[in-house]
Chains A and B, each alone.
Chain A
Amino acid sequence: MSGRFIEVEDLGKQYEAAAPGTPPALQSVSLAIEAGEFVAVMGPSGSGKSTFMNLVGLLDTPTGGTYRLNGQNVAGLTTDELAHVRNRVFGFVFQGFNLLKRITASENVALPMVYAGTPGAERRRRAGDLLAKVGLAPYADAMPNRLSGGQQQRVAIARSLANHPQLILADEPTGNLDTQTSAEIMALFTTLNRETGVTILLVTHEHDIAQYANRLIRFKDGLVVHDGAVVHEGAA
Chain B
Amino acid sequence: MNLLAVLREAARSLNANKMRTFLTMLGMVIGVAAVVLMLAVGTGAQNQVNRAVSSMGSNLLVILSGSTSAGTLRFGSGNAPTLTTGDAEAIASLPNVQAVAPTFPGGAQVAYGINNWGTQVLGVTPEYTSVRDWPVESGDAISETDIRSSTRVALLGATVVEKLFDTEDPVGKTIRIRGQPFQVLGVLRKKGQSLDGRDQDDSILVPITTAQNKLFGNRFPGTVRFVFVQAVSQEATAAAENDITLLLRQRHRIQPDAEDDFTVRNLTQVAEAASATARILSLMLGAIGSISLVVGGIGIMNIMLVSVTERTREIGIRMAIGARQRDVLMQFLLEALMICIVGGVIGIAFGVAGALAIGNAMKIEVAFSAWVMLVAFAVSAATGIFFGFWPARRAAGLRPVEALRHE
Contact = CB atoms under 8 A, between A and B. Distances in A.
Nearest to A57: B320
Interface in B88-112: none
B226 to A, nearest CB: 73
A222 interface: no
Interface in B298-326: 310, 313-314, 316-326
A54 B327 contact: no
A128 interface: no
Interface in B168-188: none
Interface string B365-407: 0000000000000000000000000000000000111101000
Contacts of B404: 59, 94, 98
A102 B17 contact: yes
Contacts of A102: 13, 16-17
Interface residues of A, number: 30
B321 A112 contact: yes
Contacts of A74: none
B9 interface: yes
A116 B318 CA distance: 12
A131 B5 CA distance: 23
Nearest to A112: B321
Main secondary structure of the interface of B (DSSP, over half): helix
A24 B282 CA distance: 66
A115 B399 contact: no
Interface string A48-83: 000000100101110000000000000000011001
Contacts of B317: 98-100
B321 A111 contact: yes
Interface residues of B, number: 28
Contacts of B1: 114-115, 117
Interface string B1-32: 11001000100110011000000000000000
A111 B320 contact: no
A88 B316 CA distance: 17
Contacts of A92: 320-321
A59 B318 CA distance: 12
Nearest to B17: A102
A151 interface: no
B401 A54 contact: yes
B16 A84 contact: no
A59 B317 CA distance: 10
B325 A79 contact: yes
Contacts of B402: 60
Contacts of B319: 83, 86
A87 B399 contact: no
A94 B404 CA distance: 10
Contact of A86 (B9, B313, B320, B327): B320
B176 to A, nearest CB: 78
Interface in B185-244: none
A103 interface: yes
Contacts of A86: 319-322, 400
Contacts of B326: 80
Contact of B323 (A59, A107, A115): A115
A107 B319 CA distance: 16
A159 interface: yes
B329 to A, nearest CB: 12
Given A79-B325, A114-B5, A59 B320 contact: yes
A163 interface: yes
A56 to B, nearest CB: 12
A221 B326 CA distance: 37
Contacts of B16: 100, 102-103
Interface string A86-120: 11100010100011111100010001101111000
Contacts of B17: 102
A140 B317 CA distance: 20
Given A60-B399, A79-B324, A117-B5, 7 more contacts: A60-B402, A84-B324, A86-B321, A98-B317, A100-B317, A101-B310, A114-B9
8 contacts: A60-B402, A80-B324, A83-B323, A100-B317, A100-B318, A102-B16, A114-B5, A159-B321
